[in-house]
Amino acid sequence: MNEKQRIFIVEDHTLLRAGLRSLLSQDSDIEIVGEADNGHDAIRAIGQLAPNLVLLDISMPGMNGIEAMIDIKRRNPETRVLVLTIHKTEEYIHASLRAGADGYILKDATYDELHVAIRSVLNGKTYLSPDIAGKVINGYLGTGKDSEAASSWDTLTHREREVLKLVAEGHPNRYISDYLCLSIKTVEKHRSNLMKKLDLHNASMLTSYAIERGLVGG
């Protein structure tokens, strides 16, 4: 690769974003063309800057990374997206890949692994951190009871999964409404849909399910 590869960073933690920028800027053939701390700003900037690669966090306030990625890929199909996240559970991995992720790497990776991931994705390959590659395979090979549980999970929208996580963390509807920038009525509708789709009938049952899925700690 002779020309500098243009990279855009989307990460809501200021120190981590600055650290990534500092590390990547040491590479002579990488140029950091911009950064954002939320999905809405990222979409606007990426449309203008047309980077080769977006380093994208999933968990952000307002529009999350997966929603942002769907929009980024729709508007900028040539832009490659490498998810950089703490999430190791299958639901986040599969949701990211369905949204168009070209790679998925964990935040506890070494810089050498990040470098390999960036180069792989820029060269048109799909990169998965070794720690999560097995989960992807198991997800496609799963049978029996696990498949039934997965099918119920797969009926949930990403927004419903976000609401489920926040409910399981013990947050009231008002907090969830403010955090996700939704109306109270919309949050209540999401909770109702969750209970109906999962056949779970109270917050305690939703919390247990979220723990089983790895959304929150037990």
Give the pLDDT band of residue 137 (cuts 50, 70, 90).
Answer: low
Q: Are residues 111 and 157 in the same domain?
A: no
88/41 same-domain check: yes
- Has residue 173 got a pLDDT over 70? yes
Clarify whether residues 27 and 117 are in a common domain: yes
Number of domains in the chain: 2
More confident call, 52 vs 140 = 52
Question: What pLDDT is attached to residue 217?
Answer: 55
Is 218 a domain residue? no
Structure confidence by residue, pLDDT tens digits, 141-151: 554 444 445 56
Residue 214 has pLDDT above 50, yes or no: yes
Burial (CB count <10 Å: 0-12, 13-18, 19+), residue 27:
middle
Residues 55 and 119 in one domain: yes
- Same domain as 147, residue 126: no
User: What CATH number is associated with residue 204?
Assistant: 1.10.10.10
* 2 pLDDT tier (thresholds 50, 70, 90): low
Please, are residues 75 and 44 in contact by the beta-carbon 8 Å criterion? no
Measured torsion, CA atoms of residues 178, 59, 210, 109, in degrees rounded to the nearest 10: -160
The 10 Å Cβ neighbour count of residue 189 is 14
Give the residue, 205 or 82, on which the prediction is more confident.
82
Q: Are residues 101 and 153 in the same domain?
A: no
Q: What is the pLDDT of residues 65-97, one digit of tens each?
A: 888 999 999 999 999 999 999 888 777 887 888
Q: Quick one: 132 and 89 in the same domain? A: yes
Q: Which residues pair with 110 in a beta bridge?
A: none
Asked whether residue 164 falls in the same domain as residue 109, the answer is: no
| Of the listed ranges 9-23, 51-65, 129-143, the one predicted with least confidence | 129-143
Same domain (yes/no): 124, 190 = no
Shared domain for 24 and 92, answered yes or no, is yes
At 147 the pLDDT is 47
Residue 205: domain span:
143-212
Residue 96 and residue 115 in one domain: yes
| Domain termination residue (choose one: 115, 137, 159) | 137
Domain boundary among 78, 108, 137: 137
| Same domain assignment for residues 76 and 119 | yes
Q: What is the mean pLDDT of residues 177-203?
A: 91
Identify the weakest region by mean pLDDT among 14-18, 87-91, 92-96, 212-216: 212-216
